[in-house]
A and B are shown apart, each in its own frame.
Chain A
Amino acid sequence: MNKKTLTTILVVLLVIAAAVAIYFATKPAQEPKEAATEITWWAFPTFAQKDAKDPAGTYEQTLVDAFQAKYPNIKVKLETIDFTSGPEKLVAAIEGNKAPDVLFDAPGRIVEYGMNGKLVSLNDLFTDELKADINNEGLVAACGDGTNYWMYPLSSSPFYMAINKEAFEEADALQYVNLEGDRTWTTENYVKALEALHAAGKLTSSVYCMNQGGDQGTRALINNLYGGSMANADLTKYEVDSPENRKALELVKKLVDDKVLEFGPEINAGGEIELFVNKTLAMTICWGTTAAKINTPNMDFTQVWLPFPSDDGKPVLEYLINGFGIFDNKDEARVKAAKLFVQFLCDSEEVGKANVLATGAFPVRTSFGNLYEGNADYELLTAFTKYYGPYYNTMKGFANMRLQWWTMLQAYLSGNTSLDDALATFQTESNKDL
């Protein structure tokens, strides 16, 4: 009995020792200081893997290997994070001074981190050559805050809508959709299409607003309906309380009350896309190249891509920019290595183009040319790029504004709060820190 107990204790202690040993053995040993510079790269799954079955990070690792082969004295440690918990993880890491060196993300977060003093300025990388090559002021401006550039851009792509063609045909609603040219359409036709679908007993589209997931879709819809916008012209203040936006919100509220539009405070864009893909809803307002790529294999209907409807038929589209930010970890060598790495990923003909293709988006550098020759869908999207609107995602307090946005939609569309109150709260809260 006593022996048994002793043996048990011994075994337990051994197991702990083994576990600790395994842990430290698998942890890479600390390199001596004078050896290679080691940098860490955190990547959201923006690059598509070569084979969808490859685990996250496979493609990224090939890039790291290629870079290390070229610069043997720099070691790159890759970590893949995801959109669901990644943002919180980043905050936690920054908070604890354990930020990565290189982050592959979009301007929204990157510029916010930059303005909070967490990044190194990339002004030295934004040469006149680069700006001339990008040849799009809005896009260049989106990479910084006016004083400093914080993000080195790789590619961009618009957000747009998609409809279920068969569902529209069955409801005789396709007549309201413009399938010619850039496919721009009017608010009037949009409402007629919704009403036709509703009359045919179909669920149309959802104004989802559970959290910030894919909230650019609802903002694009409401801003476009009567030509409203999110911020003032020089992007210094969030300005949603305008006659145009009021009219749009009132229209959406009426459509929701008439059950022509669905109100979805329990879902975000992920949930809305699920409903579109399984044919519960006839359209989605949060479509993009990545969503199309992931979901098309599961769809047994024809998807038609459209810009957002607007009063004057001239849409203003939200868009995504993929690029890199470099954290200031107070180590010159690491910053230098990180800059080299970022330029390696974005600038070289071969790697840069391959990376743009892996994001499924369009190169920011016009010198890369048309990478999607002969693909009708992508030619339509190329046409969409001329409707890119002002990029307010890099304004101060963007994260808080998103929170206020979906809070406002929930408050107003649920009928608990008047439009005046909802807008007033949005205005004060989202501009609080400006």
Chain B
Amino acid sequence: MSTLADNKKLFARSRAIQRQQTKVSYLFLLPALLFFFGFVVFPMIMGIYTSFFNYTMKEFSFIGIRNYIELFNDSTFGQSVTNTLIIAVASVPLVMLFSLWVATVIYQMPVFSRSFFRGVFYLPVVMGSVPVVVVWKWVFHRYHGILNWTLSSLGIISENINWLGEAQYAIWCVLAILFTTSIGQPIVLYVASLGNVDQSQVEASEVDGCSKWQTFLHVKWPSLLPTTLYVAVITTINSFQCFALIQLLTSGGPDGSTSTVMYYLYDTAFRIYRYGYANAMGVILAIIIAAFSAFQFRVMRTDD
């Protein structure tokens, strides 16, 4: 009898504690949620909503999914999606392999050299896209660029190449710059997760007479896997969001060959004032990225 009453009391008290905890938790969350809902969720809803409108400087009228229908017939949009995918698909493996290579090499170096190299590869990220792009634009300059000069004085090319003016080169120039600004973080991550590899297993495998490569493949690689997936996801998202680079370097040209969804969206909204249409592009892009987002969430859950 008394135990039941006690239990009840205990239960009531734990309920009270739980209510208290919930209140406290939400109070702590409040500032974050205010910012998050005010400046991320709310604009997102507005963006989706207005994508169903013929929304320009002058008009605001509901047109259903006509923006989306137009998008699927818009060849520039198609080209921009293709370019965006090309950039993402090309940069992910490149960034992954290169940063893994750099990380494994510098991990074996003394502390000072390790942080020196780590810093050097992070430099383009820190400098910011505008300084990085303007200097590369000058390096790629058709007439006075150091790249053309170097190649022609080495005898590799006989005539100046218009790096940013020809479709077959321009996209590679974009990729090259994107690459330099993408590998900083992956290297830091890989160096750190190499530190988490169980040394006794590595030594055991070396004692067993395994080659460096075998050790890497069987001992190190499995424990690097979560980091690798994480790197893949952040690199993909970075590639999808590449904007400043295009805007400052090529304006999407030549002939649309470097236009990305982000750039086309910006152009549509702020140059020809079609906000509704631009928002529809944003929604499509968000859907494409959502696939990767789900993937990302799963990756993070597995090592939680």
Contact = CB atoms under 8 A, between A and B. Distances in A.
Interface of A: 87-88, 91-92, 94-95, 113, 116-118, 203, 209-212, 263-268, 275, 278, 280, 399-400, 403, 407, 410-411, 414, 416-417
Given A210-B251, A265-B255, A414-B254, 7 more contacts: A91-B57, A95-B57, A265-B253, A400-B272, A410-B255, A414-B166, A416-B167
B271 A410 contact: no
A411 B270 contact: no
B281 interface: no
Contact of A265 (B254, B267, B275): B254
Interface centre among B58, B164, B170, B254 (most CB of A within 10 A): B254
A429 B56 CA distance: 17
Contact of B165 (A116, A117, A265, A399): A265
B275 A95 contact: yes
Contacts of B272: 399-400, 403
A91 B273 contact: yes
B57 A94 contact: yes
9 contacts: A95-B57, A203-B143, A210-B251, A264-B165, A265-B253, A267-B165, A280-B144, A410-B253, A411-B255
Contacts of A265: 165, 253-255
B164 A116 contact: no
User: Helix, strand, loop or mixed for chain B's interface?
Assistant: loop
Contact of A263 (B143, B165, B256, B275): B165
B91 interface: no
A50 B136 CA distance: 35
A203 B144 CA distance: 13
A403 B271 contact: yes
A266 B271 contact: no
Given A91-B273, A275-B143, A400-B272, A210 B250 contact: yes
From B144, B255, B256, B275, name the one whose CB has the most chain A CB atoms within 10 angstroms: B255
A117 B58 contact: yes
B114 interface: no
Nearest to A402: B271
Nearest to B76: A407
Interface string B35-71: 0000000000000000000001110000000000000
Contact of A116 (B57, B144, B167): B57
Interface in B215-251: 250-251
Contacts of A95: 57, 275
B273 A266 contact: no
Contacts of A92: 270
A57 to B, nearest CB: 23
B255 A414 contact: yes
B270 A414 contact: no
A399 B167 CA distance: 25
Contacts, number: 69
A414 B256 CA distance: 11
Given A92-B270, A265-B165, A280-B143, A116 B255 contact: no
A202 to B, nearest CB: 12
A92 B250 CA distance: 23
B270 A266 contact: no
Given A94-B57, A280-B143, A280-B144, A266 B250 contact: yes
Interface string B266-292: 010111110100000000000000000
A239 B290 CA distance: 43
| Interface hub of B144, B164, B256, B270 (most chain A Cβ within 10 A) | B270
A416 B56 CA distance: 32
Contacts of A118: 57
Nearest to A117: B58
A26 to B, nearest CB: 24
Nearest to B267: A403
A265 B170 CA distance: 11
Contacts of B142: 266
A209 B250 CA distance: 11
Nearest to A406: B253
B243 to A, nearest CB: 13
Nearest to B273: A91
B182 to A, nearest CB: 23
A87 B254 CA distance: 23
A411 B270 CA distance: 23
Q: Which 6 A-B pairs have the closest CB atoms?
A: A265-B254, A266-B164, A266-B165, A88-B270, A116-B58, A211-B251
Given A116-B58, A118-B57, A266 B167 contact: no
Interface string B136-150: 000000111000000
A103 B255 CA distance: 34
Nearest to A90: B270
Contacts of A410: 253-256
B162 interface: yes
Contacts of B163: 266
A251 B72 CA distance: 36
Contacts of B270: 87-88, 91-92
A88 B271 contact: yes
A95 B170 CA distance: 34
A263 B254 CA distance: 11
A210 B253 contact: yes
A399 B57 contact: no
A118 B164 CA distance: 38
B149 to A, nearest CB: 14
A330 to B, nearest CB: 16
B264 to A, nearest CB: 11
A399 B271 contact: yes
A200 to B, nearest CB: 17
Contacts of A210: 250-251, 253
A278 B141 CA distance: 14
B202 to A, nearest CB: 38
B57 A266 contact: no
A410 B269 CA distance: 22
Interface in B132-179: 142-144, 162-167, 170
A87 B57 CA distance: 14
Residue with the greatest number of chain B CB neighbours at <10 A, chosen from A265, A400, A417: A265
Contacts of A116: 56-58
Contacts of B165: 263-267
Contacts of B273: 91, 399
Contacts of B167: 414, 416
Nearest to A212: B271
A103 to B, nearest CB: 14
A118 B143 CA distance: 44
Interface in B64-94: none
A300 B272 CA distance: 40
